[in-house]
Amino acid sequence: MKTKILRKAFPTNDLIIRSALKKDLKIRYSKEGEKFKIIEELGIRHGSTRIDIAVVNGIMHGYEIKSDLDTLKRLPEQMKEFNAVFDQLTLIVGKQHLYQAMQNVPEWWGIKIAKINSSNRVIFQTIREAEENRKQESVSIARLLWRGEALRILEEHDRAEGLRSKPREFIYTRMADQLDKETLKGEVRNVLLNSRGDWRSVLQPA
């Protein structure tokens, strides 16, 4: 009589998903031939919320990880902050969170399941691709910048009058008021991609 050997299913955790995801993203974006940067723990609203991984190239794409060992308790509040900033968003979940994720995240968010295969490697299954975010807010995007970066951009656009001694929120509000959204997003991407060196990132040249 043959005995069927069942392989034990191990739960995913943040560390193994994050490591596998960075490798997967490097391969994917390298194939596109554009310069890009992978940033871990990018702070939103001056660091009050952080997204696990952000990829900056022609757009800003945020990736949030919820492993089998995590909960989705904080996700609704995180979503509000992420929606205000990123061009596209993808949620990476352990398989036990899939149903709840499908019920709670917007339809334009991408969803991927992270699973451990028979070789004990993390693989990703795409449930749906991320689509364009239409809920971005200019002032939230501006807050991705440090005060000096934001002030320099306004000076380059001749919009910095009266701001040099003001608190940073005045500067971000001026950016949101004076620069159209696409110009603002382009300036922020340029700073994140080219002006911060290896700050919390893995930079990949074209």
**In a structure prediction context, what are the per-residue pLDDT tens digits for the chain, which is 206 residues long?**
444 444 455 788 999 999 999 999 999 999 988 899 999 999 998 888 999 999 999 999 999 999 999 999 999 999 999 999 999 999 999 999 999 999 999 999 999 999 998 888 999 999 999 999 999 999 999 999 999 999 999 999 999 999 989 999 999 999 999 999 999 999 999 999 997 766 555 554 44
Domain spanning 14-128: CATH 3.40.1350.60: yes
Residue in 97, 92, 101 with CA at minimum distance from that of residue 16: 92
- Structural domain boundaries in the chain: 14-128, 138-197
Residue found by looking up tokens 């001056």 in the block: 46
pLDDT the model gives residue 205:
47
Residue 54 near residue 203, CB atoms below 8 Å: no
Q: What residues have CB less than 8 Å from 67, skipping those under 6 apart? A: 11, 12, 13, 14, 16, 17, 93, 94, 114
The answer to pTM > 0.85 is: yes
pLDDT the model gives residue 5:
42
**DSSP symbol at 55:** E
pLDDT the model gives residue 88:
98
CA 201 to CA 192: how far, in whole Å?
A: 10
pLDDT the model gives residue 199:
55
Q: What is the CA radius of gyration of the chain?
A: 19
CA 141 to CA 181: how far, in whole Å?
A: 9
Q: How far is CA 85 from CA 10, 17, 178, 191, in A?
A: 34, 23, 18, 15
pLDDT the model gives residue 7:
46
CA 56 to CA 47: how far, in whole Å?
A: 18
